[in-house]
Chain A
Amino acid sequence: MDFVNRTRIAGLLLLLVVAMLVNVPTFSQEGVGRQDSPTDFSGEWIVRNNEDPGQPPLGDYTGIPFNDAGRQRAETTAESIWGTPEYQCRPHSAPHQWRGVGGARFIKEIDPLTRELTAYHVQFWRSLDRPIYLDGRPHPPAWAPHSWTGFSTGKWEGNTLVVTTTHLKDGYLKRSGPQTSDMYTMTEYITRHDSLLTIFMIVDDPIYLTEPFIQSTTYQLDPSSQIRLEPCTTSFDENGGSDPHAVPHYLPGKNTFLTEWLERDNWVPAVAARGGAETTYPEYRSRPNAPPIAPLSRTAVAADRKIAGQSPNDGEVHVLPVQGNVYMLVADGSNATVSVGPDGVLLVDTGSARMTDKVQAAVKQLVATVMGPAPNNCMGLNCPRIPYGWSSPFMNTIIGSPAPAKPLRYVINTSASPDHTGGNEKIAASGFFPRGGGTGAVADVGQTASVIAHENVLNRMSAPTGKQAPAPAGAWPTDTYHRSFYKLSEYFNGEPIIVYHTPAAHTDGDSIVLFRHSEVISAGNIFSTVSYPAIDLEKGGSVQGIIDGLNQILDLAVAEYRSQGGTWIVPGHGRLSDTADVASYRNMVVMIRDRVQDMIKNGRTLEQVKAARPTMDFDGRYGSNTGPWTTDMFVEAVYRSLKEKK
């Protein structure tokens, strides 16, 4: 090797050493983990600006791609609805939340082991914590409850976080009237530019909008700001008067305040103030009377399918843990409520007859899961709650065979409807309720579960001696009550269970069931999130009874915080709900009742009432032209119920 080559090799070695030295700190400082967050949003932010010059005046729908239903819903909404007990502590609705006063706080949730960013949490002055999950988890099923913040997942597109939010409660697009249904979804694009944060929001509401509603808000980083607490105390009398259940609203066409703002802003054409997809385009300003531009049809997704998904007719039973001992069974279009615990099983409603085997299998699986042997986490003689034994209790927990689960003790029927009593006979027969006492049970007594219902349920299902009964005797209630409520004689699975009669509602035999420690109410057919309430006039139902029953639920239920959660309400059909959902449903029924009542007062016939479409702004959400309970049937039931009331 000559000198030149030795020099070259030495030079290369030197270069290699230098390169290694340079790279060592790189490895030790940056690690080898992947970069999960292209940018960092964490910190305190204050609102910098948005498109709105301030709070929109009453009746200003410019730039809102309303359909007719959305417009009517806005026009009939009274702002003093915020004075009702169920509304006072609500946070801003999600579309407005970014614009609420008080700024926003982003907090990172980091996996302590992998250091991966698993979620952002966003907080506002008047809101709950809003998680945005980045760990790839799926969105909940359609029968899961909705919340003010919804369920958000995010993914990065470059430096922009794209957030998809579902499971939102009904609320408002903007202040002063424009409403959303609870079927809307949001897509947000959150981008950081140095100390500025831009949030583009796209709201898709298949019920009230023909196109997406888009708005943007810009925030500025402000480490010196802090999210304050907004306290809220509910008053039951904010709207005055003596009716604690009053629902403020305007009858269609009777809101005379909608054009008041145009007296001041008279440069705005009245037709533009009505909103509509065409008013969202810049060209509209120069051509307000031009034909509408073809909609993008983004929101033309099948709302019907989304709604039906809350109560799927898929031949399956889906189990949703609710709270405490209580679970919701979504059983091919009907819901049942189950309490599972050390005392056995209590089932509120048994579903339709065709689903009986699957309901039983689901309950059996649930019992095995809930009451199965718990893993042994304690060793030694002093472990708490050990089984009896003279040798090592620790050994007993391993080699001992667990006691069989207690059987089905109670069935409670919320009405006599076949979709809630169809499984009675077979399911009750699988249970056992100790009645005989002494040394042996009397024949035919105590051989089945106790089936509890209002006595009118028994009247509807049975028949006098010698007459043909609508349902087999084995399906009949064994224990009925006839007063306003019925208490189970002892705690069941550690809690009081009380059955309340809701007179003349869906039928004349309706009950709601309160699990007083688990804080769950099983509502039966007076509440559905997938249809208008079914009112069976021939069996003693009435629209006022539905409203009274919903108000009874609201009186019993307590929201956990900010008017959501707390007492959970299992509807007869549809998704799990809370007080806010029941309040919205009650409001809808009250508004329709008042509209029909007003038409009756003005001498309208049933056909005229139907033609006037008093349900128009709710039909996209609850209406149906087919199936066992159509909009037409509902309107007729409301009309007759009011017309024929004593």
Chain B
Amino acid sequence: MIRRILVLAIAGTLVAGTAVYAHHSFGATYNSKEQIKVEGKLVQFVFRNPHSFVYIEAPDPAGVTQRWAIEWSGAAALGGQGVNRDTLRVGDYVIVTGRPSRSPGEYRVQMLTLKRPADGLTWGNRTGEVVD
């Protein structure tokens, strides 16, 4: 026990820095090796901290319409990128690319890019426009 405590103490003093953690781990939640595209009608936009959510009704691979939850950055971060609570409206047709959930059977995606063809709005292509 003492031996381990000493080892941990030394390690603890050597290793500096603390990661900023979200309430869940993005790396553990989403499959970073895959990317999918979801396009359909926006049915809800939850603009909040710690993360915002865009909900889209779109078909799954089997063609069944599902309610997709697209996780976006928090309100504070999006605000700095010009996104506000009125940027997206219910009924907007949007195209989203993102990383799918690792959990089987879920319709949850970490947003990489968003595009609204109606007016050319895009997100995810400029520096800093990442969800973390």
Bound complex: CA of A255 vs CA of B25, how far in Å? 16
Q: Is the CB of B23 within 8 A of A88?
A: yes
Is the pair B15, A55 in contact by a Cβ cutoff of 8 Å?
Answer: no
Q: Is A296 an interface residue (CB 8 A)?
A: yes
A54 at the interface (CB under 8 A from B): yes
CB closest chain-A residue, reference B19: A54
CB-based contact A53/B15 at 8 Å = yes
A235 contacts the other chain (CB 8 A): yes
A242 to nearest B CB, angstroms? 6
B25 contacts A79, CB within 8 Å?
A: yes
Q: Would you give the shortest CB distance from B29 to chain A, in whole angstroms?
A: 4
Chain B proximity of A83: nearest CB distance (Å): 6
Interchain CB contact under 8 A, B13 and A239: no
Q: Which of B61-69, B89-97, B123-131 contacts A (4 or more CB under 8 A)?
A: B61-69
> Quick check: B18 and A101 within 8 Å, CB to CB?
yes
Closest residue of A by beta carbon distance from B18: A47
Measured between C-beta atoms, what is the minimum distance from A214 to chain B in Å? 6
Measured in the bound complex, the distance between the Cα atoms of B21 and A54 in whole Å is: 9
Contacts of A486 in B (CB 8 A): none
In the bound complex, residues from chain B placing their C-beta under 8 Å from that of A246 are 105-106
B21 touches A55 (CB 8 A): yes
Interface segment, A115-123, A215-223, A545-553? A215-223
**In residues 551-587 of chain A, which contact B (Cβ within 8 Å)?**
none
Q: Is A282 on the interface with B (CB-CB < 8 A)?
A: yes
Name the A residues within 8 Å of B53 (CB-CB): 235, 237-238
B20 cross-chain contacts in A, Cβ below 8 A: 101
Residue A231 interfacial (CB < 8 Å):
yes
Shortest distance between the CB of A243 and any CB in chain B (Å): 9
Interface flag for A241 (CB, 8 Å): yes
In the complex, which range does the number of interface residues on chain B fall in? 35 or more
A239 to B69, CA, bound (A): 6
Specify which chain B residues have a CB less than 8 angstroms from the CB of A257 in the assembled complex. Answer: 31, 102
Chain B residue at smallest Cβ distance from A79: B28
Choice from A90, A212, A237 contacting B67 with Cβ under 8 Å: A237
**Known contacts A80-B103, A239-B107; is A216 also within 8 Å of B27 by CB?**
no
How far does the Cβ of B127 sit from chain A's closest Cβ, in whole Å?
23
The winner among A51, A215, A231 for most chain B CB atoms within 10 A is A51
Question: Considering only CB atoms and an 8 Å cut-off, how many residues of chain A contact the other chain?
Answer: 57
Contact B67 A241 (CB under 8 A): yes
Distance in Å: Cβ of B132 to nearest Cβ of chain A: 11
B8 near A240 with CB under 8 A, answer no
User: How close is A464's CB to chain B, nearest CB, in angstroms?
Assistant: 48
Distance, CA A200 to CA B44, complexed state (A): 45
State whether B1 touches A296 (Cβ < 8 A): yes
Contacts of A90 in B (CB 8 A): 23
Measured in the bound complex, the distance between the Cα atoms of B121 and A22 in whole Å is: 80
Dominant SS among interface residues on chain A: loop
Interface centre among B16, B27, B48, by most chain A C-beta atoms within 10 angstroms, is: B27
B106 touching A240 by the CB < 8 A rule?
yes
**CB distance A175 to B25 under 8 Å?**
yes
Q: Taking the nearest CB of chain A, how far is it from the CB of B82, in angstroms?
A: 22
A239 touches B18 (CB 8 A): no
Contacts A58-B28, A230-B50, A241-B107; is A52 near B15 (CB within 8 Å)?
Answer: yes
Question: Within the assembled complex, what's the spacing in Å between the Cα atoms of A182 and B108?
Answer: 29
Q: Are B15 and A50 in contact (CB under 8 A)?
A: yes
Smallest CB separation, B118 vs chain A (Å): 24
A214, B24: Cβ atoms closer than 8 Å: no
Smallest beta-carbon distance B94→chain A, Å: 15
Q: What residues of A have a CB within 8 angstroms of the CB of B7 in the complex?
A: 282
Give the residue name and chain of the B residue nearest to A102 (CB): B20
Residues of A within 8 A of B18 (CB): 47, 49-50, 99, 101
Contacting residues of chain B (46-98) with chain A, CB-CB under 8 angstroms: 46, 48-50, 53, 55, 66-69, 71
Collect the chain A residues with CB atoms within 8 Å of residue B13's CB: 49, 218
Q: Which of A49, A100, A214 contacts B16 (CB 8 A)?
A: A49
State whether B106 touches A241 (Cβ < 8 A).
yes
CA distance A60 to B108 in the complex (A): 24
Mask of A230-255 contacts with B, CB within 8 angstroms, 1/0: 11110101111110001011100010
Most chain A Cβ neighbours within 10 Å, of B44, B102, B105, B107: B102
Residues of B within 8 A of A106 (CB): none
A420 beta carbon closer than 8 Å to chain B: no
> What residues of chain A lie closer than 8 Å to B48, measured between beta carbons?
231, 233
Contact A78 B15 (CB under 8 A): no
Which residues of chain A from 54 to 93 have a CB within 8 Å of any chain B CB? 54-55, 57-58, 78-80, 82-83, 88, 90, 92
Tell me whether A276 is interfacial, beta carbon within 8 Å. no
Q: How far is the CA of A233 from the CA of B46 in the complex (A)?
A: 10
| A281 sits at the interface (CB 8 A) | yes
Q: A274 at interface (Cβ–Cβ under 8 A)?
A: no
Q: How far is the CA of A391 from the CA of B101 in the complex (A)?
A: 76
Q: What is B's interface to A at a CB cutoff of 8 Å? A: 1, 3-5, 7-9, 11-21, 23-25, 27-29, 31, 33, 44, 46, 48-50, 53, 55, 66-69, 71, 101-109
Cβ-closest 7 pairs across A and B: A240-B107, A82-B24, A79-B28, A240-B69, A176-B28, A248-B103, A78-B103
19 contacts across the A-B interface (CB closer than 8 A): A49-B15, A51-B12, A54-B17, A55-B27, A79-B28, A80-B24, A80-B103, A83-B29, A126-B23, A176-B28, A216-B12, A217-B12, A230-B50, A237-B55, A237-B67, A238-B69, A239-B107, A241-B107, A242-B66
Q: Known contacts A51-B11, A237-B55, A239-B69; can you find 18 more A-B pairs with CB under 8 A?
A: A55-B25, A79-B102, A83-B69, A88-B23, A99-B18, A176-B27, A214-B1, A217-B12, A218-B13, A231-B49, A232-B23, A237-B67, A237-B69, A240-B101, A240-B109, A246-B105, A250-B103, A282-B4
